[in-house]
C-alpha cells in the first residue's frame, strides 16, 4: 500500500521560504571593524531574490556554478540561499587553499561568477586570470567601493559592485521548481594525494542534514537561539549551521574576518549567540583569553559544537569549570555534509562518568549508519574495544566524487559505505571513539599507539597549551612517537616531567621518547593541527629534538 502523504520537495528554496517568511523577524548580525551590522530574515529573503536576479542577468543558467570567496557574513548567506534556490550550484571556495589548488577547483567546478568580499580582493586577484570559466566578479561588503578593483579587472573579467547591481534588481524572483536530488552546493576536500576532490550536496541532503543538526542530539536549535558559526562557510558548509538556523528560525551571528579570541569574545558579547561551532584550536585560544580576563565571558553562550579534530576533555573541562561554557563534540567530514555524530552523554550518566562520553566522537545521528571494519574486511562488534576503520553511509554521505580522475577514488568506498580513513571503535551504546586518522597512526613494534590519546593527555597538563604527536622512523621499532609541545607562557617543563605525567595513563612503550618544544602547532587551511608540516620539520631537521 502506498501512503496518502504528499511528496513535497526538500529543497533549499523551501527552507529559504520558511526561514525568511515565518521567521522574518529573526536577524543576521555581521561583525564589522568597529561593531556590528544587522538585517532581518525578511530583508535577507528580498536580497536573496535580488541576487538571483543579478546572477540571471549575468547569464547564470541551469546548474551552472557560482563561486564564493567570502568570510562568514550576511552577503555569503545571501549566496547560500539565492544560488541553490535559483537552480544553480553554490561552490564555496576555501580562501586558505594553496593557490594551485584554488585555481584547480575553480576550473574543475567551472565557476561562472565569483562573489568576493572586499577584504579578500587582494587574495583573489593574482589567481583570477587563471580561472578560465569565470566571466564576472561581484565585490561585496561595506568597503567594496574602496577595494582595488583594478587588480581584479586586470584579469579581463567584468568586475561589478555587489550593492550597486543588487539595487538595480527587483525584490521578487520567479524561483523555479527544483528537484530535491539535484545538486545544490559543492565543496572540495583537500586531497593528501593528488588534487582536491569535489563533494556535491543535493537539496535533499542539505535539508535532511539541517534537520539532524537542529535536533537536541546535536545543536538543539529553536527560534529562541542565536547561532554563531565560526567554522567557515567554505569549510563543509559551516557544518550546516547556516541552513539549520534558517530551518529553525534561529538568528545568525556572523564573525566575518574577526576570528581571534579578543574580537571574537567582543563580538559574542555584542551579538549574544546561544550556540556556536568551531574547531578546538579556536576554543583553546578563547580559553587562554578568558583565563586572563574572565570578565569577557560570553554570558549568552549555552552550547559549543566542536569537532574537525578530537576535542580534548581537558579543554572541555576547563571551559565548563572555569567559565561555565559547555562543549559538545561532533564528528564528520566534508563527505558527510559534515555532521554525522554528536557526543551528548547517555541519560542518567553523571559526574566523572560523563567524560568518557564527552571525550568520544558521539552517537551517529539518525540518517547515518556506522560500522567498524577490521583489516580482514569484516565488520566488527560494537564492543568499545575492537579497533578498525570507521565506515558510514546515509542520505547525507557522499557516494562518489565529482568528475574525479583520482585513481584512488575507488578505494574510498566499500560498496555504498564511505571509508572515512578514521580508526577507532564503537561501544555497546553506539558511541564512536576515534584513536587516529589512518595516516597518523603510529605503529611501534607491531602495536598501535594512539597519537590522539597522547595529545589529549598532554594537553591536560597545566603547563601545556598545545601538543601534536607524530610517528618518526625507528630502526628497532619501525616507528616511535615524537611529541611536539607548546608550553604555556612563563611556564617551564621538561620532557622527563611530561613523561612522568603521562605514565599514569600509558604503558611505558607508548610514551614518547622524542620531544620538541615549539611556538605553535602549525594549522591546516581550516585550522586543524597540520602534522604534515611537523613531519617535514622533523625530516629537514628544522626543529630541535630532545630525547627522554
Ligand atoms: P580535512 O581532511 O581537510 O581535514 P575534513 O574537514 O573533511 O577535511 O576532515 C574530516 C576529518 O576530520 C575526519 O575524517 C576526522 O579525521 C577529522 N575529525 C572531524 N571531527 C573529528 C572529531 N570530533 N574527532 C576526531 N577527528 C575528527
Q: What are the Cα distances from residue 176, in Å, to 11, 18, 62?
A: 11, 16, 10
Cβ 420 vs Cβ 276: under 8 Å:
no
User: Residue 135 pLDDT more than 70?
Assistant: yes
Is the distance from the beta carbon of residue 187 to the nearest atom of ligand 1 less than 6 Å?
A: no
Mean pLDDT of 363-378: 97
Predicted TM-score (pTM) above 0.85: yes
Per-residue pLDDT of 54-75, as tens digits, reads: 999 999 999 999 999 999 999 9
pLDDT of residue 454: 95
Hey, is 307 helix, strand or coil? Answer: coil
3-state SS track over 106-147: HHHHCEEEEEEEHHHHHHHHHHHHHCCCCCEEEEECCCHHHC
Is the distance from the beta carbon of residue 327 to the nearest atom of ligand 1 less than 6 Å?
A: no
Q: What are the Cα distances from residue 196, in Å, to 26, 29, 66, 104, 386?
A: 37, 33, 18, 8, 32
Looking from the CA of residue 528, the nearest atom of ligand 1 is: 4
pLDDT of residue 344: 97
Paired sense of beta strands 362-364 and 431-437, if any:
antiparallel
- In words, the CATH class of domain 361-437 is mainly beta
Is the distance from the beta carbon of residue 340 to the nearest atom of ligand 1 less than 6 Å?
A: no
- Given the C-alpha cell 620531544, which residue does it identify? 515
Is the distance from the beta carbon of residue 525 to the nearest atom of ligand 1 less than 6 Å?
A: no
Is domain 440-547 given the CATH code 3.30.300.30 in the classification? Answer: yes
> How far is the centre of ligand 1, averaged over its atoms, from the C-alpha of 331 (Å)?
7
- Sign, Cα dihedral of 144, 145, 147, 150: positive
Q: Which three cell numbers stand for residue 127?
A: 589567481
Cβ 239 vs Cβ 339: under 8 Å:
yes
Architecture in CATH for domain 9-24+38-201: 3-Layer(aba) Sandwich (3.40)
Give the number of other Cβ atoms within 10 Å of residue 520's Cβ: 9
Domain boundaries, the chain: 9-24+38-201, 361-437, 440-547
> How far is the centre of ligand 1, averaged over its atoms, from the C-alpha of 308 (Å)?
4
Is the distance from the beta carbon of residue 231 to the nearest atom of ligand 1 less than 6 Å?
A: no
User: Residue 177 pLDDT more than 80?
Assistant: yes
Nearest CA to ligand 1 atom 3: 190
Which residues, other chains included, contact 105 with Cβ-Cβ below 8 Å and sequence gap of 6+? 91, 93, 94, 97, 188, 196, 198
> How far is the centre of ligand 1, averaged over its atoms, from the C-alpha of 453 (Å)?
16
> How far is the centre of ligand 1, averaged over its atoms, from the C-alpha of 330 (Å)?
10
> How far is the centre of ligand 1, averaged over its atoms, from the C-alpha of 333 (Å)?
5
Report DSSP state, residue 425: E
Mean pLDDT of 185-211: 90
For helices 41-57 and 12-21, the axis angle rounded to 10 degrees is 140
- Given the C-alpha cell 569574545, which residue does it identify? 265
User: Residue 439 pLDDT more than 90?
Assistant: no
pLDDT of residue 75: 98
Fold agreement between 361-437 and 440-547: no
The percent of residues above 70 in pLDDT, for the chain, comes to 99
pLDDT of residue 190: 73
pLDDT of residue 192: 58
User: Residue 462 pLDDT more than 70?
Assistant: yes
Looking from the CA of residue 192, the nearest atom of ligand 1 is: 2
Backbone φ/ψ region at 389: left (φ over 0), alpha (ψ -120 to 50), beta: beta
pLDDT of residue 430: 97
* Best probe residue, ligand 1, of 280, 304, 333, 436 (max atoms within 8 Å of C-beta): 333
Amino acid at each position: 500500500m502506498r501512503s496518502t502523504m504528499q511528496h513535497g520537495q526538500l529543497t533549499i528554496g523551501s527552507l529559504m521560504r520558511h526561514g525568511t517568511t515565518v521567521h522574518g523577524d529573526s536577524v543576521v548580525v555581521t561583525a564589522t571593524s568597529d561593531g556590528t551590522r544587522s538585517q532581518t530574515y525578511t530583508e535577507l529573503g528580498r536580497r536573496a531574490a535580488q541576487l538571483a536576479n543579478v546572477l540571471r542577468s549575468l547569464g547564470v543558467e541551469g546548474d551552472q556554478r557560482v563561486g564564493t570567496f567570502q568570510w562568514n557574513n550576511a552577503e555569503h548567506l545571501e549566496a547560500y540561499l539565492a544560488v541553490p534556490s535559483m537552480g544553480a550550484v553554490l561552490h564555496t571556495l576555501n580562501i586558505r587553499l594553496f593557490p594551485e589548488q584554488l585555481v584547480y577547483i575553480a576550473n574543475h567546478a567551472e565557476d561562472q561568477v565569483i562573489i568576493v568580499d572586499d577584504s579578500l580582493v587582494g587574495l583573489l586577484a593574482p589567481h583570477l586570470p587563471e580561472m578560465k570559466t569565470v566571466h564576472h566578479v561581484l565585490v561585496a561588503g561595506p568597503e567594496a567601493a574602496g577595494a582595488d578593483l583594478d587588480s581584479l579587472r586586470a584579469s579581463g573579467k567584468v568586475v561589478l559592485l555587489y550593492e550597486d547591481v543588487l539595487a538595480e534588481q527587483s525584490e521578487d524572483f520567479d524561483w523555479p521548481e527544483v528537484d530535491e536530488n539535484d545538486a545544490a552546493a559543492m565543496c572540495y576536500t583537500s586531497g593528501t594525494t593528488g588534487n582536491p576532490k569535489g563533494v556535491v550536496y543535493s537539496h535533499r541532503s542539505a535539508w535532511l542534514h539541517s534537520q539532524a543538526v537542529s535536533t537536541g542530539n546535536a545543536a538543539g536549535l529553536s527560534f529562541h537561539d542565536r547561532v554563531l558559526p565560526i567554522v567557515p562557510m567554505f569549510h563543509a558548509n559551516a557544518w550546516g549551521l547556516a541552513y539549520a538556523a534558517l530551518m529553525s528560525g534561529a538568528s545568525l551571528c556572523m564573525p566575518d574576518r574577526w576570528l581571534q579570541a579578543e574580537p571574537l569574545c567582543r563580538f559574542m558579547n555584542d551579538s549574544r549567540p546561544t550556540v556556536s561551532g568551531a574547531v578546538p584550536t579556536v576554543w583553546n585560544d578563547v580559553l587562554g583569553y578568558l583565563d586572563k580576563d574572565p570578565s569577557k565571558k560570553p554570558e549568552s553562550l549555552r552550547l559549543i559544537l566542536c569537532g574537525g579534530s578530537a576535542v580534548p576533555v581537558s579543554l572541555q573541562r576547563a571551559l565548563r569549570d572555569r567559565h561555565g561554557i559547555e562543549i559538545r563534540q561532533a564528528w564528520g567530514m566534508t563527505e558527510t555534509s559534515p555532521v554525522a555524530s554528536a557526543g551528548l552523554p547517555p541519560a542518567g550518566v553523571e559526574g566523572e562518568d560523563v567524560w568518557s562520553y564527552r571525550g568520544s566522537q558521539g552517537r551517529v545521528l539518525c540518517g547515518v549508519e556506522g560500522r567498524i571494519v577490521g583489516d580482514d574486511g569484516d565488520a566488527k562488534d560494537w564492543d568499545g574495544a575492537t579497533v578498525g576503520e570507521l565506515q558510514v553511509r546515509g542520505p547525507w554521505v557522499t557516494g562518489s566524487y565529482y568528475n574525479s580522475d583520482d585513481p584512488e577514488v575507488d578505494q574510498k568506498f566499500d560498496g555504498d559505505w564511505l571509508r572515512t580513513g578514521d580508526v577507532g571503535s564503537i561501544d555497546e551504546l553506539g558511541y564512536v571513539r576515534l584513536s587516529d586518522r589512518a595516516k597518523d597512526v603510529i605503529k611501534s613494534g607491531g602495536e598501535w599507539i594512539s597519537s590522539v590519546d597522547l595529545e589529549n593527555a598532554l594537553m591536560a597538563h597545566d603547563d601545556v597549551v598545545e601538543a601534536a604527536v607524530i610517528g618518526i622512523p625507528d630502526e628497532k621499532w619501525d616507528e616511535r612517537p615524537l611529541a611536539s609541545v607548546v608550553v604555556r607562557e612563563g611556564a617551564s617543563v621538561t620532557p622527563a616531567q611530561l613523561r612522568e605525567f603521562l605514565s599514569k595513563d600509558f604503558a611505558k612503550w607508548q610514551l614518547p621518547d622524542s620531544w620538541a618544544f615549539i611556538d605553535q602547532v602549525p594549522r591546516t587551511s581550516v585550522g586543524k593541527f597540520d602534522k604534515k608540516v611537523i613531519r617535514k620539520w622533523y625530516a629537514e631537521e628544522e626543529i630541535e629534538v630532545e630525547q627522554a
